Structure 1
Amino acid sequence: MSSLVDKVVIITGASSGIGASTCLHLSKHKPKLVLASRNVDNLTKVAGGCQANGLSSDNIFIVQCDVDKECDLQKLVEQTIEKFGQIDVLVNNAGSSIYSSIMDTTLEMFDQTIRTNLRAPFYLCQLCIPHLIKTQGSIVNVSSISSTKAFPTAVTYCMAKAGLDHLTRTLAVDLAGKKVRVNSVNPGVIVTNFQKNAGMTDDKYEQYIDRQKMLQPLGGAGDPEEVAKAIQFLASDQSSFITGQLIFVDGGRHVFSPC
């Protein structure tokens, strides 16, 4: 039996991409899922997919949440405790980027990217940690290969994800004595709407995906479920002696240097 049975798992950014795939994958392990995102319509569709995988509707809780808003994050934790009484796993998945050169990046754009990708996970960890200590739970941060590699027109996003990696390592040390584990998955290029939402045009996106066949040696751009499987491993007791790790789910991109 999976160690995630009846565990209360919060997943931010659950309405699409990696977040939605994580919900669907974890639903097979029978946890109590808290699906958080701004898009309730999409969350409802994801919840339907979880039910199709055999998860009871009683074990699925939808919370409309904008991670950029402190009050929404507070509400997310409060309503989760009210609904399920505990928190066992926090998956900080919500993220966004805006493609822009440093000279075209306004302070407002900078603040927005940092707020979503670093400030929100920091604050949500802070809110959840007292509950995770009680359950000796786990935090999984969804970072990026961008935390360790420099990409053009993504300076603020790269900075934010580098900060998220160090938040992962620092919290792992701070919370080890409390038996709360903190790890990260760092995806490479995964087929989602992320790049288009960040401003990439359709034609450039096709070229971008095609280029991954060379850059990600295991077979080009990845599927969101590959990331979901890594999240499931880190969230479960299968990784009970692992903390402070950054697991790259990138088809080998982070170790590959094309000639």
Structure 2
Amino acid sequence: MTKQYIFPVAEPIAIPIKGSSLLFPIHRIFCVGRNYMAHAKEMGTIVDKTQQEPFYFLKHPSSYVPSGAEIPYPTRTNNFHYEMEFIIAIGKAGANITQQDAIHHIFGYGCGLDMTRRDLQAKAKDNRHPWDIAKDFENSAILSEIMPITQSGEITEGTIQLTVNDEIRQSSDLSHMIWNVNEIIEHLSTLYTLQPGDIIMTGTPEGVGAIHPNDQLTGYIDNISMLTVKISA
């Protein structure tokens, strides 16, 4: 018997794959917090890898925006920030994945922007509340197309950069991540059974800051991908 629903079921949300007509359907979007030491310091914290574990927050797949889009300045904020990030796209399910086996669970790579209502995040921190309304909202996950690992090989280093109106705001190297890709997959897979379609945004380097209507953002990661987005007036 065909199931009937009281309203139309949404189409799967999916990301283009470089060199393919197929799409990568998003299952979940995990985000790693404070994964570059210089960014942690600019946010007022110090990360001691020997004493701390990675931490995460999630964005709903409906927050996805493709590269090249124009998005509105969001509501309830006067301090809208960009955070340029390296993306891992998971293609094989697994739990308790070892670092040695992590590469076999990666479908591909990309880049993305974790857009943040920074004033709401600061208020949430002050009140010891969750970050959801600061991080998980419409148009807050701008993602490039996915480069399959079969085309790129394993990525452990490379320039990550963001410009706003052609001015460089963020520039670092993927090798500066506190927890590398294999460590993230190993740790996250002890908390969740990773599934095909999961996206992991691996954290942002230093240089985060506010943007305004009519700003044009362009980000790239060497030999992987680039993205663009404009903030509408």
Relative to the length of structure 2, the TM-score reads 0.30
TM-score, scaled relative to structure 1: 0.28
Instruction: Please state which structure has a larger fraction of its residues in helix.
Output: 1
Q: More strand per residue: 1 or 2?
A: 2
